[in-house]
Amino acid sequence: MTTAMRKTILLGAEFWNDSCSPKELAEAVAGGATGATSNPVIVHQVVKADPASWNPVIDALAHEHRSATDEEIAWKLIDEMAVRAAAILEPVFRETKGAKGFLSVQVNPKLYRDTARMVQHGKQLASLAPNIAIKAPCTEAGIAAMEELTAEGIHVNATVSFTLSQAVTVAEAIERGLGRAKQAGRDVSGMHPFVTIMVGRLDDHLQRVAAKEQITVDPGDLHWAGIAVFRKAYDLFRSRELRSRLLVAAYRHHLHWSELVGEDVIFSMPYAFWNQFNASGIEPERRIREPVDETRLARLLKRLPDFAKAYQEGALPVSQFTAYGASVHTLGQFGSAAQDLYSLVRERMLSLGC
């Protein structure tokens, strides 16, 4: 049977599993997935869902590194999970000669202000396997880190990104990094940078703004905000020949998939969503270039200034990337989830008497 995900791939898109869970990833790869994602949030979820598999790993790490802190053990756990997930994707990486089969691994969320430490952590994570791309946030410091990592010949994936300004700014920084890499004698033909737009998190942010400021907005319009930003970014990336590939993340409903199908689009989908879409009966079509209804756009632009900041290039200065509401919310969640992972590891270590 040709599933909706396989039909999406036939239309020129790529499908990733938005988790590094080995069980989920193996099933996803069997269903056509050619990439995956890891971060502290995901690792925490994976360990909680399957303690029988991962508690022994924590135990072994705690015994091997007797003086390590809970945070240090947690990051060694993240490394171990990344190695296992990268191995599952390695045949795809090998068969496509390095064009696909990437595992995206995120630098420590608490480093979002520190370029040098993000670069340092990114290099360490990249050393775990040849098919790892380093995720860093679209903050001012994170964008500088991604340029530097690219110049060092390391694949990157921009995250904590919601706006056209962020997507274009980081793609241009990656272009500078590719230029520097080439000048240094590196072969950049095999480098594959990615830029994520978290479409659902933008929609969530606008819903929070509307509720807080008591702005009346058609709920249907809000479903199209992230789609509108992604489609505009897609057109700009292609017209300006930016080499980064755009990746859709943070799903809230099927439109975040069905309205964005097209060549070179990457869908990084949670396990539950891609299974839901496969069972939906929706026939995917190339819709990425279809314009969003002008009346919807006009209402969003008029009623929600934060949508205008997301949709209009240059409306959000680099200095405001971190303070943009969706960034604040997401960086806060990532930081809290990392702490949850540290707590989980600490409790396990204490139970062992470590």
Query: Within a 13 Å sphere around the CA of 298, how many CA atoms are in the beta-carbon half?
Result: 3
Neighbours of 231 (CB within 10 A): 21
Which amino acid, one-letter code, is at 40?
A: P
If residue 58 lies in a helix (H) or strand (E), which one and from where to where? Answer: helix 51-64
CA–CA gap between residue 271 and residue 24 (Å, rounded) = 7
Terminal C-alpha separation, the chain: 51
Q: Which residues of 158-171 are buried (b: 16+ CB within 10 A; e: fewer)?
A: bbbbbbbbbbbbbb
**Which residue, 73, 71, 99, 81, is CA-closest to 37?**
81
Catalytic residue among 100, 135, 232, 309: 135
Q: Please say if 135 is a catalytic residue.
A: yes
- Tokens 């209402």 map to which residue? 299
CA–CA gap between residue 73 and residue 93 (Å, rounded) = 29
Q: Which two tokens stand for residue 210?
A: 């509307």
Q: At what angle do helices 140-151 and 115-126 cross, to 10 degrees?
A: 40
Residue 203 three-state SS? helix
Residues with active-site annotation: 135
